[in-house]
Amino acid sequence: MTKSKEQLEAENPIEHYLRMDRIPHIWCSGCGIGVVVTSFADALRKSNIDMDKLAVVSGIGCTGRVAGYVKLDSFHSTHGRAIPFATGLKLANPEMKVVVFSGDGDIFGIGGNHFIHAARRNMDILVICVNNFNYAMTGGQVAATSPIDANLSTAPYGNFEYPFSLPYLADACGATYVARWTVLHLRQVTMSIQEALGKRGFSLIEVIAPCVTLYARRNRLGDGLNLLKYYHDNSEVRHGADTRTLDISYQGKLAVGKFIDREKPTFLECMNNHMIKVLGDKYVPYGVKP
């Protein structure tokens, strides 16, 4: 017997992970952020993580609103500061898994310094960065990720600044897990999130997402479907690729895949191991279950 539309909706398997009392969300139709949230919720559904021990921290911007929609301990902090907020939360409560969910402008523009230092320390947090190539919440300004020649409201004659390659930066700073996908790669994003949630150490998952209202309209790239077609035709899966080769050019090829997956002790492990080595029994281990 087929189920009615109402029954199917009532049984949406990811509802359990969302604050349904806050739906509908604020994102534009055609926006890619909701797709990444769906993948995130799906990854939680498929993982064995205790939801009570999982927190999401966001900064400011369109993706910064994610914290407000997930039914977890969730923190909507200030612009650029999701990573230090998450650092404090994680170190105060080491048994938690802390996910930073925010945008490219937030994490790599205003918050870039925090990203490189959290990666350097191998802070045990997962950063999911939705990269839409612009500051969308404020109306489509140029970002640290905007490709050269892309037109933005504060680069009205086209962008001429070199953009960051996020996986290259993360790799150079010591991240233990680095992947990049587009929102077209729903299952891969879900799998990457599942995989990264199971890892100890600093992880980055970059998800390239359409900003239909601003970036796409200003650059006459069409609607959400056009952008998905672009992702489809131009994405190249290059697992393990040299991260120096992952630059994104305007409407050019998009290298996706898992680039980095390595093991090394986290900040807390380093601290405890070092202090035990130096201080011996006098040291009171921190965040370790007796």
Least CB distance from residue 103 to other proteins, whole Å?
Answer: 16
User: Which strand (E) or helix (H) includes residue 206?
Assistant: strand 203-208
Provide the minimum distance between the beta carbon of 34 and other proteins in the complex, in angstroms, as a whole number: 17
Give the residue carrying structure tokens 């919440």.
Answer: 137
CB 55 within 8 A of CB 236: no
Part in contact with other proteins (CB under 8 A); list of ranges 29-37, 80-88, 132-140, 178-186 = 80-88
- Establish if 158 lies at the interface with other proteins (CB under 8 A): no
The reply on whether position 282 binds other proteins by CB under 8 A is: yes
Site size with other proteins, rule: CB under 8 A: 44
Measured CA to CA in angstroms, residue 51 lies from 10, 75, 98, 123, 177 at distances of 21, 15, 11, 20, 22
89 forms part of the interface with other proteins (CB under 8 A): yes
β-bridge mates for residue 255, sequence order: 236
Interface with other proteins in residues 16-75 (CB under 8 A)? 19, 21-22, 51-53, 55, 57, 67-68, 71-75
Closer by beta carbon to other proteins, 51 or else 186: 51
Q: Are strands 141-142 and 177-182 parallel, antiparallel or unpaired?
A: unpaired
Nearer to other proteins, 5 or 277 (CB): 277
Q: Exactly one of 47, 78, 141, 213 binds other proteins (CB under 8 A); which one? A: 78
- The minimum distance between CB 279 and other proteins, in angstroms, equals 6
Nearer to other proteins, 76 or 217 (CB): 76
Tell me: does residue 1 bind other proteins (CB under 8 A).
Answer: no
Amino acid at 76: H
Least gap, CB of 48 to other proteins (angstroms) = 17
In angstroms, what is the minimal distance from the CB of 170 to other proteins?
16
- Kindly state the tokens that stand for 233: 């035709």
DSSP string, 62-110: TGGGGGGTBSSEEEE--TT-HHHHHHHHHHHSTTSEEEEEEEHIIIIII
User: By three-state DSSP, how is residue 234 classified?
Assistant: helix
Smallest distance from other proteins to CB 107, Å: 13
Query: For residue 190, with 0-12 CB atoms within 10 Å meaning exposed, 13-18 middle and 19 or more buried, which class applies?
Result: buried
Q: Which of 236, 217, 242 is nearest to 227 (CA)?
A: 217
Pick from 30, 61, 84, 140 the residue near other proteins by CB under 8 A. Answer: 84
Report, in angstroms and rounded to the nearest whole number, the Rg of the chain calculated over CA atoms: 19
**x-or-dash string of contact with other proteins, 166-205, rule CB under 8 A:** ----------------------------------------
- Give contact residues for other proteins (rule: CB under 8 A): 19, 21-22, 51-53, 55, 57, 67-68, 71-78, 80-81, 83-93, 95-96, 113-114, 117, 275, 279, 282-287
